[in-house]
Amino acid sequence: MEEVILLKMGETVLKGLNRRSFEARFLRNLKNSLNPIGPFDISISQSTVYASPAEDGVDMDAAFRAAKRVFGAVAVSRAAVCAKDVDAIFNTAKEYLRPELMSVNSFKVESKRADKTFPLTSIALSQEIGGRLQDVYPHLKPDMHHPEFQTDIEIRDTAAYIHARSHPGAGGMPVGSNGRAAVLLSGGIDSPVAAWMMAKRGLELICVHFASPPYTSERALDKVLKLAGILTEWTGPIGVFIVPFTQIQTAIRDSAPGPYNTVIMRRSMMRIASALAKQNHCGALITGESLGQVASQTMQAITITEDAAALPVFRPLIGMDKEEIVTLARKIETFETSILPYEDCCTVFTPQHPKTKPRLDETLTAEALINFAELESQAILDTEKQVIGI
């Protein structure tokens, strides 16, 4: 029995003259996600994408899981394909959906005719197939309003498709359809969630991570690379830029007033991340900041931190509380990795009483005590890149 994956496009269908470019990006992303599993023939018709295995033995469970993580589709389903004939549709539904039909007590058949030349109306086809299925599975009771199981039949141009109720897709817009941005990726809970949220809005990502050995360990870096790897299941390959930050942090510790250490450190991160982002054709930075969550995320601290950025800074978590962020982290499967107890550079040399309402003039005076231009230029030159997800 031939089986395919059907994906229903989301807000891409609302696009105007550039709709085709969004669809092309989605098809390319889907193909890239399915390639490691096996060869697929992918096409689109009437806002539905069809992914058909091009050879036998393809792991359809793995393909279905991958398809549900491609941004741009709102619904995904596995479907059996058959001829546009009532007997063929019934026989296919009877066999393909047997496990589900045997495990429930009530059902409904829902039919849609994209091909209006099909001789039965949608209602008539649903009644015909529903009646035949009830004859084969007499324990089933029809329920048009609250069925335990729904059989969906779609009559399209070249074939009929039979499937169970669709699963939610990843939603959003195809990765890469809205440009590229650099996410400041730490080993914590927040920044991977922020990265995921902006990828959902169609941004291709690179990651900038600040490492401070020996104060941060190889295990801490491995944790960040693992988080990037989890994100690639949604985004495709990601370049991770690992910035050596030890000299800058020790210079801040030794020369800057203690309460200003954190905000000065974050301003340096913004300058370095901006430079790396521009080198890699990014149009924005992304951070995991949430208003008021910690001392460096007060309105005043965020304002002074952003003053050092040379690009717009997107903060998708800004209005979320920690529980909401944790819920999303669990959904995208980054949470368990994020809570591994390996330090990151943001926890190094943290002042006992950080400035929660810093002033820009005082910050600039403190910064003038350190030759940031030289230190940051060297850090950028020494930055290493790893590509994850290839």
* CATH number of the structural domain 3-168: 3.30.2130.30
pLDDT 10s digits, 192-238: 999 999 999 999 999 999 999 998 889 999 999 999 999 999 999 99
- pLDDT, residue 258, reads 82
What is the model's pLDDT at position 24?
Answer: 92
Rg (CA), the chain: 26
Q: Each residue of 283-323: pLDDT tens digit?
A: 999 999 999 988 888 999 999 999 999 999 999 999 999 99
Q: How confident is the model at residue 351 (pLDDT cuts 50, 70, 90)?
A: confident
The answer to whether residues 12 and 19 touch, using CB atoms and an 8 Å cutoff, is yes
Q: Convert the pLDDT of each residue in 137-191 to its tens digit.
A: 999 999 999 999 999 999 988 899 999 888 999 999 999 999 999 999 999 999 9
Whether pLDDT at 382 is above 90:
yes
- Is the CB of residue 148 less than 8 Å from the CB of residue 172? no
Nearest Cα residue to 156 out of 310, 357, 6 = 6
Asked if residues 263 and 317 have their Cβ atoms less than 8 Å apart, the reply is: no
C-alpha span between 200 and 173 (Å, rounded): 6
Domain ranges, ordered by start, for the chain: 3-168, 180-388
What does the pLDDT read at residue 45? Answer: 85
**For 329-347, what is each residue's pLDDT tens digit?**
999 999 999 999 887 777 7
Q: Which residues are 52's β-sheet partners?
A: 41
Identify the pLDDT of residue 256: 84
Contact 239, 207 (CB under 8 A): yes
**Residues 287-298: pLDDT tens digits?**
999 999 888 889
Q: Above 90 in pLDDT, residue 4? A: yes
What percent of the chain has pLDDT above 90?
84
Instruction: Check whether 10 has a pLDDT greater than 90.
Output: no
Mean pLDDT score across all residues of the chain: 94
CB–CB of 275/383 below 8 Å?
A: no
Task: Tell me the C-alpha distance between 201 and 55, whole Å.
Answer: 33
Residue 389 burial (10 A CB sphere; 0-12, 13-18, 19+): middle
pLDDT of residue 385: 97
Helix (H) or strand (E) holding 106: strand 106-113
Q: How far apart are CA 200 and CA 386, in angstroms?
A: 23
Rounded to two decimals, the pTM is 0.91
**Is 180-388 assigned to CATH 3.40.50.620?**
yes
* pLDDT, position 132: 96
